[in-house]
Structure 1
Amino acid sequence: MVQQMIMQSLGPVQGGASKLTNSFQVFAGDYLALWSIRDDNKQLRLKIADYQQQLDQLREAYARNRYLENELAFKRVENFPALTARVVGKDPSFWFKTLIVDRGKNDGVIKGMVARTSLGVVGQVIQVSDNYAKILLTNAPSSAIDAMIQKNRVRGILKGAADKGYVLYYVLKNAEVEVGDRVVTAGVGGVFPSGIPLGTVSEVRSKRRGMFQEIEVAPVVDFGRLEMVFIDLSERQKIAEEMGITVAPAVD
């Protein structure tokens, strides 16, 4: 009788304990499964980040290859003697905006040579070491180039205006100049060959006093994105003779 009473009393307790044990086992299983899922998610996030990095690298390689292909195709089509030079440094100062390229005296580069891209003029070599050269950009305020409006051959002096591009000076008020007109090198002085693109007219102003218009020109070259330039060798011998120096054959 007593045993029956004890069993009757302990039965519900044991049943509850059994249910509690089962619930704990279920909870523990769910908890471990959750940690497993979290770990899987972490691994997936790492893989996604790695794939994204690889995708970014492939996109950059593709864009760079397209850029280089376009530039080299231009060199083949134009068929002018030139050295391909890679931009390795920049000086963004306002007055002397310059680039450093990985070509120098050992490659046949001399002071005074013109640097350009498939789009147009970049600048002029102003300093040369054995393996490097410094190029003064055409948009530097210290730069001045003989230029002309391509459609009517009206000439002026194109001066650099830094981030604003260029200003074309000494164009008479009676000259027909409109926004969108192309501006190219005039070829005067023998430094820059004639007809190389410089920019397009972006604004034309005529002051009440004076004889000349003031013409703003937007560069065709994006100076902030230059990675490679061509150093024009076509005037190399002439420049060397004017400077009174003897030059060795250029190495491409």
Structure 2
Amino acid sequence: MTIFLEHRAKWISKLVIEITAPFQKIFTGTISTARNIWKNYFFLVETRQQNLRLNKKIDLLEIENSRYQELLLANQRLQQLLKFQENTEETFLPARVIGWDSSALFKSIIISKGENDGLKINMPVVNSKGVVGRIVSISPNYAKVLLVTDQNSAVDGLVQRSRCRGMLNAFLIM
């Protein structure tokens, strides 16, 4: 009888396993899938936060890089100005451009030097590449420069190859 009961218990056990296993498989798979979805959701949230932090850092580094580029260009301009001053016997007064004429008819700039710095009307304004213009109006601390590219501007010039003198002026192009 014990053998019969053991055999019957094994058979019932096998039947229970056979019936419940597919449900356990579905339940375990569902739980596993839900756990993976939840885990991946938090991973994506963390990845998104990390992406936002990295994008902010990129923005800051691009701003910093832009500042360094501006400093590099300013340094190069100052070096050119120093070389320009070394190669000439004239005395130069460095000035900054602080404004531009916004009209299309006149081409002029405002510089950061004026009468208090020794500037006078009709003085030439040059940079390391050549003539920029001439002073047309002046105040104690600022001066307005008519650029050589203005239609009303004219500059005495010399053709380097032929040594012929002439008047150089710009034309308004419409």
- Superposed pair shares fold, TM > 0.5: yes
* 2:3 match: none
| Structure 1 residues 111-190: aligned runs within 5 Å | 111-162=121-172
Secondary structure (helix, strand or coil) at the match of 1:89 reads strand
* Contact 1:139 1:163 (C-alpha < 8 Å) held by counterparts: no
Q: Which runs of 5+ in 1 are unaligned?
A: 165-252
Q: How many residues align?
A: 161
Cα distance in 1 between the residues matched to 2:147 and 2:54: 48
| Structure 1 residues 1-252: aligned runs within 5 Å | 8=16, 12-162=22-172
The alignment-based identity, stated in percent, is: 30
Cα distance in 2 between the residues matched to 1:84 and 1:124: 14
Q: CA deviation at 1:125?
A: 0.6
Q: CA deviation at 1:94?
A: 4.5
* Contact 1:141 1:160 (C-alpha < 8 Å) held by counterparts: yes
Q: CA deviation at 1:113?
A: 1.0
Q: Which moved more, 1:90-99 or 1:126-135?
A: 90-99
Runs (4+) of structure 1 exceeding 6 A deviation are none
Deviations 1:16-71 (A, max 9, x none): 32332222112211221122222222222222222222222212211121112111
Q: CA deviation at 1:92?
A: 4.9
Secondary structure (helix, strand or coil) at the match of 2:168 reads strand
Q: TM-score, with normalisation over the residues of structure 1?
A: 0.56
- Aligned pair in 2 of structure 1 residues 94, 158: CA closer, same or farther (>3 Å)? farther
Secondary structure (helix, strand or coil) at the match of 1:130 reads coil
Higher relative contact order (CA 8 A, sep 6+): 1
- Aligned pair in 2 of structure 1 residues 163, 103: CA closer, same or farther (>3 Å)? farther
Deviations 1:128-168 (A, max 9, x none): 1111000111221111223232233322222222569xxxx
RMSD after superposition: 2.5
Q: TM-score, with normalisation over the residues of structure 2?
A: 0.79
Cα distance in 1 between the residues matched to 2:143 and 2:103: 17
Q: CA deviation at 1:101?
A: 0.1
Q: Aligned letter for 2:118?
A: G
